[in-house]
Structure 1
Amino acid sequence: MNSFQNMTVKSIKEIVANLNSERYQETIPLLKADSRVAVQKMGLSLEKKLLAIAAETQRIEKMKSLEASYYAKGIKRIGGIDEVGRGPLAGPVVTCVIILKPDSHRLYVNDSKKLSQKMREHLCEQLLEDAQDYAIGMVDNDIIDQINILNATKKAMTDSLTALKDPPELLLIDALQINTAIPQKSLIHGDAISYAIAAASIVAKVYRDNLMQIYHQEYPEYGFDHNMGYGTAAHIAALREYGPTPIHRKSFISNLVR
Structure 2
Amino acid sequence: MPVPSTTPDWAFEREHWRRGHFRVAGVDEAGRGAWAGPVTVAAVILPGTAQDYPFRDSKQLSAAQREDYAAEVRRVALSWAVEHAWPDEIDRLNILGATHAAALRAIARLDPPPQALVTDYLRLRTPLPLSAPPKADALSYSVAAASLLAKTGRDQLMAELDAQYPGYGFAAHKGYGAPAHRAALAQLGVSGTHRRSYAPIARLLSGETGPLRLL
TM more than 0.5? yes
Decide whether the 8 Å contact of 2:78 with 2:112 is kept in 1. Answer: no
Whose helix proportion is higher, 1 or 2? 1
TM-aligned CA deviation for residue 147 of structure 1: 1.1
Offset from partner CA, 1:16-40 (integer Å, 9 cap, x none) = xxxxxxxxxxxxxxxxxxxxxxxxx
> What is the CA–CA distance in structure 1 between the aligned matches of 2:139 and 2:204, rounded to whole Å?
36
Counterpart check, 1:135 vs 2:90: no
Unaligned runs of at least 5 residues, structure 1: 1-57
Counterpart check, 1:184 vs 2:162: no
1:8-27 equivalences in 2 (<5 Å) = none
TM-aligned CA deviation for residue 74 of structure 1: 3.8
> What is the CA–CA distance in structure 2 between the aligned matches of 1:189 and 1:255, rounded to whole Å?
32
TM-aligned CA deviation for residue 195 of structure 1: 1.0
Alpha carbon RMSD of aligned pairs, Å?
1.7
Decide whether the 8 Å contact of 1:79 with 1:196 is kept in 2. Answer: yes
* Number of residue pairs the alignment of both structures matches: 199
> What is the CA–CA distance in structure 2 between the aligned matches of 1:59 and 1:218, rounded to whole Å?
40
Match of 1:201 in 2: 147
> What is the CA–CA distance in structure 2 between the aligned matches of 1:66 and 1:164, rounded to whole Å?
20
Counterpart check, 1:219 vs 2:160: no
Decide whether the 8 Å contact of 2:9 with 2:52 is kept in 1. Answer: no
Match of 1:96 in 2: 42
Counterpart check, 1:255 vs 2:203: yes
Choose which of 42, 52, 59 in structure 2 pairs with 1:105.
52
Decide whether the 8 Å contact of 1:82 with 1:174 is kept in 2. Answer: yes
Match of 1:19 in 2: none
SS in 2 for 1:222: coil
Q: TM-score, normalised by structure 2?
A: 0.87
Structure 1 runs (4+) deviating above 4 angstroms are: none
Counterpart check, 1:159 vs 2:105: yes
Decide whether the 8 Å contact of 1:106 with 1:123 is kept in 2. Answer: no
Q: Which has the larger radius of gyration?
A: 1
> What is the CA–CA distance in structure 2 between the aligned matches of 1:187 and 1:63, rounded to whole Å?
14
Decide whether the 8 Å contact of 1:236 with 1:256 is kept in 2. Answer: no
Greater Cα shift, 72-81 or 123-132:
72-81
SS in 2 for 1:255: helix
Amino acid at match of 1:254: A
> What is the CA–CA distance in structure 2 between the aligned matches of 1:226 and 1:239, rounded to whole Å?
15
> What is the CA–CA distance in structure 1 between the aligned matches of 2:16 and 2:129, rounded to whole Å?
12
> What is the CA–CA distance in structure 2 between the aligned matches of 1:70 and 1:146, rounded to whole Å?
35
Match of 1:246 in 2: 192
Amino acid at match of 1:170: A
Same amino acid, percent of matched pairs? 37
TM-aligned CA deviation for residue 101 of structure 1: 0.9
Counterpart check, 1:115 vs 2:61: yes
Amino acid at match of 2:71: E
SS in 1 for 2:78: strand
Q: Which structure carries more relative contact order (alpha carbon 8 Å, separation 6+)?
A: 2
Q: TM-score, normalised by structure 1?
A: 0.73
